[in-house]
């Protein structure tokens, strides 16, 4: 059975769904079945809201002050579970909450979800993946039209309403692309974090 809560490095993560609206060429879930303390992050069946909440309630968070919503899927594809689970993490476990997302949550849910997220999510990290729409489409194969622009719009809305917002890229991008991402980071006023691909 796949883990819902797992540890990786210095953080604790919630793997709430395997649903995703992209098919990124570098996605780690196509390389191995699990990471960190989880041997398997592929759910046989996506967990219910009750199962996710129970997993959070039962987990011993001693030594950790944050829960990161990030697993083998896009958390905003299970918005109801994400919002409810984040509320439990904050209210009952007194944790900070972070959402790692592909930034397509508004496109996925057909409405602006940022106001709802801002009530229970302290920090949002958005995978930029590429600095322009042509490369973005090639790398992420998104399930929506105009996904790059919609992802940028989501990030700008987050910047207005969420305490902390960051762009995230992995260092597999070319130097030119990384430079372009830095420019986009400056233009949007959203800091850029460059992660090592592992
Ligand atoms: S958005 Fe995330 S989970 Fe989905 S395919 Fe891309 S890297 Fe994988």
26 — pLDDT class (breaks 50, 70, 90) = confident
Q: Could you list the residue range(s) of the whole structural domain that residue 81 is in?
A: 5-195
Ligand 1, pocket residues at CB < 6 Å: 20, 22-24, 27, 29, 73-74, 102, 140
Q: Which pLDDT value is given to residue 9?
A: 87
Pick the residue whose CA is nearest to atom 8 on ligand 1. 27
Kindly give the distance from the C-alpha atom of residue 47 to the centroid of ligand 1, in angstroms, as a whole number: 18
Q: Classify each residue of 15-46 as buried b or exposed e, where b means 16 or more C-beta atoms within 10 Å of its C-beta.
A: bbbbebbbebeeeebeeeebbeebeebebeeb
* Mean pLDDT estimate for the chain: 95
Q: Which pLDDT value is given to residue 186?
A: 97
Q: Which of 52, 48, 47, 49 is nearest to 67 (CA)?
A: 52
Q: Which pLDDT value is given to residue 164?
A: 98
From CA 196, how far away is CA 190, in angstroms rounded? 19
Q: How many domains does the chain have?
A: 1
Q: Which pLDDT value is given to residue 171?
A: 85
- CATH number, domain with residue 155: 3.20.20.70
| Higher-confidence position of 197 and 175 | 175
Q: Which pLDDT value is given to residue 198?
A: 63
- Residues 178-189 have pLDDT tens digits of 999 999 999 999
Is the predicted pLDDT of residue 197 greater than 80, yes or no? Answer: no
Is the predicted pLDDT of residue 196 greater than 90, yes or no? Answer: no
- Residues 124-180 have pLDDT tens digits of 999 998 999 999 999 999 999 999 999 999 999 999 999 999 999 988 889 999 999
Kindly give the distance from the C-alpha atom of residue 29 to the centroid of ligand 1, in angstroms, as a whole number: 8
Helices 49-58, 79-91: axis angle to 10 degrees equals: 20
Kindly give the distance from the C-alpha atom of residue 20 to the centroid of ligand 1, in angstroms, as a whole number: 6
Q: Which pLDDT value is given to residue 10?
A: 87
- Residues 71-111 have pLDDT tens digits of 999 999 999 999 999 999 999 999 999 999 999 999 999 99
């Amino acid at each position: 059975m796949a883990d819902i809560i797992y540890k990786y490095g210095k953080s604790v993560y919630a793997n709430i769904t395997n649903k995703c609206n992209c098919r990124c060429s570098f996605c780690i879930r196509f390389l191995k079945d699990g990471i960190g303390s989880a041997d398997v992050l592929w759910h046989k069946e996506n967990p219910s809201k009750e199962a996710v909440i129970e997993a959070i309630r039962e987990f011993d968070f001693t030594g950790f002050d944050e829960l990161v919503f990030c697993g083998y899927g896009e958390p905003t594809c299970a918005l109801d579970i994400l919002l409810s689970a984040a509320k439990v993490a904050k209210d009952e476990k007194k944790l900070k909450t972070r959402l790692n997302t592909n930034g397509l949550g508004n496109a996925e849910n057909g409405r602006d979800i940022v106001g709802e997220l801002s009530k229970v999510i302290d920090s949002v990290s958005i995978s930029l993946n590429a600095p322009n729409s042509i490369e973005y489409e090639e790398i992420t194969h998104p399930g929506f039209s105009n996904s790059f622009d919609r992802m940028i719009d989501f990030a700008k809305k987050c910047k207005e309403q969420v305490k902390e917002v960051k762009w995230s890229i992995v260092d597999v991008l070319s130097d030119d692309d990384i430079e372009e991402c830095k420019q986009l980071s400056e233009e949007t006023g959203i800091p850029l974090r460059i992660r090592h691909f592992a």
